[in-house]
């Protein structure tokens, strides 16, 4: 039965039901007597009726002699150019055939979306793509061919499909099926997408795939990303009247509508989050009562790059995002590169757009944030959902489970538990390849205090098992493939991670946690006010212009770190960047690590372990005890495109280098390691160190 036929049948059934307005007044006394007053004709209420209040459909039931009014049913109202989904709580209108979300009404507000924008610029799925990475990506809205998939009292699901064919040589070679779902009793709606390439299709690069909602700028002023990151935000006009800084996203607020924000910088990259930390984010309106508009991402299995991948969440507009594919904080490594003829299929989402309201939140928007977190926990617990109609969406009975325990064998003979580590299944690849993986599904969880883990709801396929453990350098990879089948429960037992190590630790700088957060982060340049959050808790590295402070602190001579007396939290700058010598001219910088060795074994090899938390167009060169030697003893070559320095990210993609140091390069007494960031054409080139360690002779 087609969607149109289902709808006609439903309308015919509704016409056969007697419609009546009923007011039920209940009084409790010792005999539990009830008094009822019916408006209209007296009727025997032993049958099922539809009761309509102001065009909202309810069902009236008699259960054990008691009349109960149930919640409104889900309805579809299909017009020539639009379709509206409603459930008595929220109405969502989408354009036909394009699938743009043009209106969301809730809590007495006719439209929460930006009515000042054209209809295609309010709520939409889009994708940035090209045939080569050398040209700017083209934007395409995912759209077309409307169809009703389900239309019942409890659920409506609609589809907007786009199908590619070979005659569309200049179009994105991708099929897409965008779904929107509304459930009964649910204050919001769900959306997901099925994207597909067929065998034989031409090559294409996909840089960004996301869903976007733009809200009424005169209503929504308070943004919340986490418990710590909540604040009153600038207005779009404040950016228009402000001063653009080193790149267009960063704007100095010179005359903001809220004078408390004057002198701050607004930049959408301030509000980025790791995938693992981004389960809910959104905005609260200034209306009475306030309305919360929340993006809930219940699971990460469909997002690229693993749990540490960073991406945008919300920003001035006000704009709410859920990004599934992007090069943010990663560069070309996270661009999906499909070769000629390569097939692909993936289900993205569902994500949930949740709406809430509470009059008490007028002076305390955290009330709505806390409620959104409660709803988020419900959505997470419900994953995988059972309601999506598409057969491509894999339900729980088609998934499997993998469990085990991870232990670490590092510098002693005693195994220790890999506590609070991230462990997951991702498509097969090399050690650490999960952070650059961008086509398949990934399934991650955290280990408990004993290193135990259970990875649930894994889609059937062949995977590798990967892990990263706080305080332990490097990446773990299980030796064998893991084949998950429907209903399988795989116990891998106790696994042992032997992290990279060739000798005993002679000294170390930093903490191996894949970030540079433990190092010295300066205050912003004095011309910029500190960017603070509503509860006065701030991420100190999420400030504009921090890279400029290196040239202020080290105007002529570069950083020198003395092992044993220096403190990395005070003396190790968070980013190894270029030096600004004026007139937009930059030079490379060389940092020194000075350390003492009492006795050097010239016949043995030592190891310098360097873990990088980020890199942007950099070339790191390492020299031992001779800064002038022409050829460095080690070089990374040109690496990185994560832009984490400019985008206040504190980490991007992780690099690990185990550098063999011949004993004859070291001397008894004082030694110096020279670290040169050799490429210097702009202020954002450089690396962020995660951790450095010198190991003694190989054992």
Assign 132 a pLDDT band (cuts: 50, 70, 90). Answer: confident
Structural tokens at position 550: 């290196």
Cα(312)–Cα(268) distance, rounded to whole angstroms? 7
Phi and psi at 343, nearest 5°, equal -85, 165
Q: What is the pLDDT of residue 218?
A: 96
Cα(357)–Cα(375) distance, rounded to whole angstroms? 13
The half-sphere exposure of 369 on its side-chain side, counting CA atoms within 13 A, is 20
Q: What is the pLDDT of residue 26?
A: 30
3-class state of residue 31 by DSSP: coil
DSSP 396: G
List of residues 6+ apart from 375 with CB closer than 8 A: 280, 294, 296, 352, 354, 356
CB 568 within 8 A of CB 512: no
**What is the distance in angstroms between the CA of the first residue and the CA of the last residue of the chain?**
72
Where is average pLDDT lowest: 60-69, 652-661, 684-693? Answer: 60-69
pLDDT at position 400 over 80: yes
Cα(218)–Cα(238) distance, rounded to whole angstroms? 13
Residues 109-130 have pLDDT tens digits of 999 999 999 999 999 999 999 9
DSSP code per residue over 159-201: EEEE---TT-TTS---EEEEEEEEETT-SEEEEEEEEEE-TTP
pLDDT at position 251 over 90: yes
3-class state of residue 566 by DSSP: coil
Mean pLDDT, range 77-84, rounded to an integer: 97
Element (H, E) at 204: strand 204-214
pTM score:
0.90
Structural tokens at position 77: 């109202």
Assign 143 a pLDDT band (cuts: 50, 70, 90). Answer: low
Cα(139)–Cα(171) distance, rounded to whole angstroms? 11
* Owner of token pair 């539990």: 32
pLDDT at position 54 over 90: no
3-class state of residue 663 by DSSP: helix
Cα(345)–Cα(348) distance, rounded to whole angstroms? 10
Cα(309)–Cα(363) distance, rounded to whole angstroms? 35
Residues 626-641 have pLDDT tens digits of 999 999 999 999 999 9
pLDDT at position 35 over 60: no
Instruction: Give the residue from 74, 91, 73, 90 showing the smallest Cα distance to 82.
Output: 91
Assign 443 a pLDDT band (cuts: 50, 70, 90). Answer: very high
Residue 567 to residues 564, 609, 611, 695: CA-CA distances in angstroms?
8, 19, 18, 19
Mean pLDDT, range 359-365, rounded to an integer: 94
Cα(400)–Cα(5) distance, rounded to whole angstroms? 37
CB 640 within 8 A of CB 616: yes
Mean pLDDT of the chain: 90
Cα(218)–Cα(286) distance, rounded to whole angstroms? 8
Instruction: Judge if the upstream peptide bond of residue 116 is cis by omega within 30 degrees of 0.
Output: no
pLDDT at position 45 over 50: no
Cα(687)–Cα(678) distance, rounded to whole angstroms? 11
Element (H, E) at 83: strand 82-86
Residue 420 to residues 111, 129, 147, 467, 683: CA-CA distances in angstroms?
43, 37, 46, 11, 36
CB 471 within 8 A of CB 508: no
Cα(124)–Cα(433) distance, rounded to whole angstroms? 31
Assign 142 a pLDDT band (cuts: 50, 70, 90). Answer: low
More confident residue, 62 or 89: 89
Cα(252)–Cα(246) distance, rounded to whole angstroms? 10
Cα(146)–Cα(341) distance, rounded to whole angstroms? 28
The half-sphere exposure of 4 on its side-chain side, counting CA atoms within 13 A, is 3
* pLDDT above 90 as % of the chain: 84
Mean pLDDT, range 402-406, rounded to an integer: 98
Where is average pLDDT lowest: 39-48, 275-284, 635-644, 647-656? Answer: 39-48
Cα(543)–Cα(358) distance, rounded to whole angstroms? 33
Residues 530-552 have pLDDT tens digits of 988 877 776 799 999 999 999 99
Q: Using CB atoms within 10 A of its CB, is residue 325 exposed (0-12), middle (13-18) or buried (19+)? A: buried
Radius of gyration of the chain (CA): 29
Where is average pLDDT lowest: 134-138, 341-345, 504-508, 578-582? Answer: 134-138
Q: What is the pLDDT of residue 133?
A: 64
pLDDT at position 9 over 80: no
CB 692 within 8 A of CB 658: no
pLDDT at position 406 over 70: yes
């Amino acid at each position: 039965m087609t969607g149109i036929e289902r709808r006609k049948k439903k309308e015919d059934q509704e016409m056969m039901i007697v419609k009546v307005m009923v007011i039920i007044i209940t009084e409790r006394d010792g005999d539990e007597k009830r008094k009822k007053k019916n408006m209209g004709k007296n009727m025997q209420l032993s049958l099922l009726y539809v009761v309509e209040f102001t065009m909202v459909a309810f069902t009236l039931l008699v259960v054990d002699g008691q009349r109960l009014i149930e919640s409104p049913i889900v309805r579809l109202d299909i017009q020539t150019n639009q379709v509206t989904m409603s459930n008595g709580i929220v109405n969502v209108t989408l354009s036909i055939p394009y699938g743009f979300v043009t209106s969301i009404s809730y809590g007495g507000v006719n439209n929460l979306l930006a009515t000042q924008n054209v209809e295609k610029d309010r709520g939409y799925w889009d994708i940035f793509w090209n045939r080569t990475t050398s040209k700017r990506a083209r934007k395409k809205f995912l759209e077309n061919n409307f169809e009703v998939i389900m239309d019942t009292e409890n659920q409506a699901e609609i589809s907007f499909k786009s199908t590619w064919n070979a005659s569309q040589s200049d179009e994105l070679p991708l099929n897409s099926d965008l779904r929107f779902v509304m459930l009964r009793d649910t204050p919001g709606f769900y959306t997901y997408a099925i994207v597909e390439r067929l065998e034989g299709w031409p090559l294409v690069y996909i840089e960004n795939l996301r869903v976007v909602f733009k809200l009424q700028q005169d209503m929504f002023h308070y943004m919340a990303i986490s418990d710590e990151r909540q604040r009153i935000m600038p207005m779009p006009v404040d950016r228009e009247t402000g001063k653009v800084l080193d790149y267009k996203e960063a704007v100095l607020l010179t005359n903001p509508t809220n004078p408390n924000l004057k002198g701050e910088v607004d930049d959408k990259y301030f509000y980025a989050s790791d995938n693992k930390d981004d389960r809910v984010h959104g905005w609260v309106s200034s209306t009475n009562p306030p309305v919360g508009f929340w993006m809930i991402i219940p699971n990460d299995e469909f997002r690229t790059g693993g749990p540490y991948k960073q991406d945008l969440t919300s920003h001035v507009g006000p704009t709410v995002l859920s990004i599934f594919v992007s090069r943010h904080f990663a560069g070309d490594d996270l661009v999906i590169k499909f070769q000629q003829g390569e097939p692909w299929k993936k289900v993205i989402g569902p994500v949930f757009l949740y709406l809430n309201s509470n009059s008490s939140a007028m002076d305390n928007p955290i009330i709505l944030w806390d409620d959104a977190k409660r709803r988020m926990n419900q959505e997470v617990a419900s994953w995988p959902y059972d309601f999506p109609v598409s057969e491509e969406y894999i339900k729980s009975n088609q998934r499997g489970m993998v469990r085990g325990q991870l232990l670490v064998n590092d510098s002693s003979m005693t195994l220790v538990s890999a506590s609070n580590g991230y462990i997951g299944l991702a498509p097969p690849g090399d050690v650490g390849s999960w952070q650059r993986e961008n086509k398949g599904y990934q399934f991650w969880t955290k280990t408990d205090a004993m290193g135990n883990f259970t990875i649930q709801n894994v889609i059937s396929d062949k995977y590798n098992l990967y892990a990263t453990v706080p305080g332990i350098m490097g990446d773990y990879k299980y030796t064998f493939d893991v084949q998950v089948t429907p209903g399988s429960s795989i116990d891998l037992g106790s696994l042992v991670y032997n992290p990279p190590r060739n000798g005993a630790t002679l000294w170390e700088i930093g903490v191996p946690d894949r970030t540079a957060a433990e190092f010295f982060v300066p205050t912003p340049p004095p011309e910029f006010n500190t960017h603070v959050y509503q509860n006065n808790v701030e991420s100190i590295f999420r400030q504009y212009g921090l890279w400029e402070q290196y040239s202020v602190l080290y105007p002529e001579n570069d950083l020198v770190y003395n092992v044993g007396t220096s403190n990395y939290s005070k003396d190790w700058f968070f980013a190894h960047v270029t030096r600004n010598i004026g007139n937009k001219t930059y030079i490379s910088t060389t940092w020194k690590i000075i350390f003492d060795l009492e006795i050097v074994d010239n016949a043995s090899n030592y190891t310098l372990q360097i873990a990088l938390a980020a890199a942007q167009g950099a070339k790191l060169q390492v020299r031992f005890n001779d800064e002038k030697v022409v050829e460095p003893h080690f070089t990374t070559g040109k690496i990185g495109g994560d832009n984490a320095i400019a985008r206040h990210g504190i980490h991007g993609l992780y690099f690990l280098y185990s550098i063999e140091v011949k004993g004859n390069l070291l001397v008894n007494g004082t030694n110096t390691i020279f670290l040169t960031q050799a490429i210097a054409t702009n202020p954002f080139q450089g690396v962020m160190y995660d951790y450095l360690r010198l190991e003694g002779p190989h054992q």
